Amino acid sequence: MYGAVLIVVLIVLGGVIAYVGDWIGRRVGRRKLTLFGLRPKHTSIVVAVITGIMVVGTTLATLIIVDNDFREMLVDYASVKTELVATQGSLSLAQDQLKEAEGRLSEKLEELARKEEEVTSLETQIGELKTERDRLIGDIDQLEQQLAQLWQSHSVAQSLFDEQYKSLLQGVTQGTVMGIKGALVRNFVLPPGDVEGLDRQLAELAQHSLEVWRKAFQVVPSDLTAARAQILDATDRLLVRVLLAENVYQEDELTTAIQANLTVDERTRVFRKGERIAWSGSPVDPSKATATEIKAALWRVGEAARRRAIQARVYVDTDDETVGIDLTGTVDELVSQIMKASQPVWLYMQANEDVYNTDGPIDWSFGFSFERDRD
């Protein structure tokens, strides 16, 4: 808008000046006026020239007064030219940088396209892995069912084996082996100083050996001496364990006496009240497991607790080889509670009171929780 107004003003101003110059020229020509002693003809030419000069001068003066940029360029042309050259150089550099940026942008777009293809490929692989996971979960469920069935079969086989083993230890032989080295023959608890009780128990074992194994029964002398001394020095009850020192064979007529080892343990707390004696190997999902499978998992926990208690050298009932109270009557109610759980649970066996090696059977119980303790 500003440029258009300036152009119009310059045109109008030039026209006015030209008109005035023409008017002065005509007056000079009619009256034959002279200027600086020149002839009228030459005076008209001078007036025309002066008018042209005035037009140009007026135009320049108007531009200088009105347009600051024009005035600065006219006054400092060299500096403006230098700045223009520098600006053109900057423009050229910016154009080069723009081209370089456009090239990098093109590379990034290509890389982005490759990444999108990789993401698509990974999403496809994830879908395939999820499908494979679902299939494996189904296989695991089937394997767990098979494991539960195998465990039931194992429990039956274990019971048969225990009965056969017990029969072997009692002399009801079904082969040549009557006793296995390290087997627990008997354990009993004695008060401090009760050496007579020790002799009485060993005498009963000797009589039992003659009746069942047809052999004499003899404790390793060094074990017997150490046991007597420990019983005399004791201040609390003691757990005495009698173990076979060697295998016992029915047809071994050369061996006249069965050798046995004695161990004497002071009364010691092996489990504290509330301690989790054994845990299930993995959590049980009530939404997938059947009552039979949960019972099988509980019996596995019970067997693990029994083994740990025996390893801790607690009192064992040698008649039925039990170490704790029978929990058969509590299992159904616990299974019913587990089936109502809204998430997988861990099964455990815990001590209901402090357990000492000289006490028995252990007062323990099954339980479950949503998280496993790391004790």
**pLDDT band at residue 178, thresholds of 50, 70 and 90?**
low
Q: Are 295 and 332 in a shared domain?
A: yes
359 within some domain:
yes
Please determine, for residue 215, whether its predicted confidence score (pLDDT) is greater than 50.
yes
User: What pLDDT score does 348 carry?
Assistant: 94
**pLDDT band at residue 133, thresholds of 50, 70 and 90?**
confident
139 within some domain:
no
Q: What is the mean pLDDT of residues 238-257?
A: 81
Please determine, for residue 78, whether its predicted confidence score (pLDDT) is greater than 80.
no
Q: Are 201 and 228 in a shared domain?
A: yes
Residue with tokens 């010691």: 268
The count of structural domains within the chain is 3
User: What pLDDT score does 209 carry?
Assistant: 83
Please determine, for residue 157, whether its predicted confidence score (pLDDT) is greater than 50.
yes
pLDDT in tens, 20-72: 667 766 666 666 666 666 666 666 677 777 777 777 777 777 767 776 766 66
Residue span of the structural domain in which 299 resides: 271-369
User: What pLDDT score does 333 carry?
Assistant: 92
Please determine, for residue 154, whether its predicted confidence score (pLDDT) is greater than 60.
no
Q: Which of 233, 250, 267 is the last residue of a domain?
A: 267
User: What pLDDT score does 172 carry?
Assistant: 40
User: What pLDDT score does 170 carry?
Assistant: 47
Highest mean pLDDT (candidates 77-91, 210-224, 354-368): 354-368
248 within some domain:
yes
Q: Are 279 and 330 in a shared domain?
A: yes
As a whole-number percent, the residues of the chain with pLDDT over 70 amount to 74
Structure tokens at 101: 């940026």
Please determine, for residue 4, whether its predicted confidence score (pLDDT) is greater than 90.
no
User: What pLDDT score does 74 carry?
Assistant: 61
Q: Are 180 and 230 in a shared domain?
A: yes
pTM, to two decimals: 0.51
Closest-CA residue to 208 (of 170, 180, 243): 170
User: What pLDDT score does 171 carry?
Assistant: 44
Q: Are 242 and 332 in a shared domain?
A: no
Structure tokens at 106: 């093109």
Of 154 and 170, the structure prediction assigns the larger pLDDT to: 154
Please determine, for residue 169, whether its predicted confidence score (pLDDT) is greater than 60.
no
**Burial group, residue 332, by CB count within 10 angstroms (0-12, 13-18, 19+):** exposed
Q: Are 279 and 364 in a shared domain?
A: yes
User: What pLDDT score does 175 carry?
Assistant: 42
Closest-CA residue to 184 (of 125, 241, 256): 241
Please determine, for residue 140, whether its predicted confidence score (pLDDT) is greater than 90.
no
Q: What is the mean pLDDT of residues 305-333?
A: 87
Q: Which of 267, 302, 319 is the last residue of a domain?
A: 267
**pLDDT band at residue 359, thresholds of 50, 70 and 90?**
confident
133 within some domain:
no
Could you tell me if 300 and 280 are in contact, meaning their C-beta atoms sit under 8 angstroms apart? yes
Could you tell me if 188 and 155 are in contact, meaning their C-beta atoms sit under 8 angstroms apart? no
70 within some domain:
yes
User: What pLDDT score does 302 carry?
Assistant: 92
User: What pLDDT score does 75 carry?
Assistant: 61
80 within some domain:
no
Please determine, for residue 360, whether its predicted confidence score (pLDDT) is greater than 90.
no
Q: Are 6 and 68 in a shared domain?
A: yes
Q: Are 263 and 303 in a shared domain?
A: no
Q: What is the mean pLDDT of residues 267-275?
A: 93
Q: Are 262 and 280 in a shared domain?
A: no
Q: Which of 233, 267, 301 is the last residue of a domain?
A: 267
Q: Are 211 and 225 in a shared domain?
A: yes
375 within some domain:
no
Residue with tokens 């026209």: 15
Q: Are 211 and 281 in a shared domain?
A: no
**pLDDT band at residue 138, thresholds of 50, 70 and 90?**
confident
Mean pLDDT of the chain: 81
Structure tokens at 358: 């000289």
11 within some domain:
yes
Q: Are 239 and 288 in a shared domain?
A: no
Residue with tokens 């608890």: 189
User: What pLDDT score does 293 carry?
Assistant: 92
Closest-CA residue to 282 (of 190, 154, 148, 182): 148
**pLDDT band at residue 174, thresholds of 50, 70 and 90?**
very low
Distance in angstroms (rounded) separating the CA atoms of residues 310 and 169: 18
Q: What is the mean pLDDT of residues 80-95?
A: 83
**Eight-state DSSP code of residue 269:** E
Q: What is the mean pLDDT of residues 352-357?
A: 93
Of 373 and 256, the structure prediction assigns the larger pLDDT to: 256
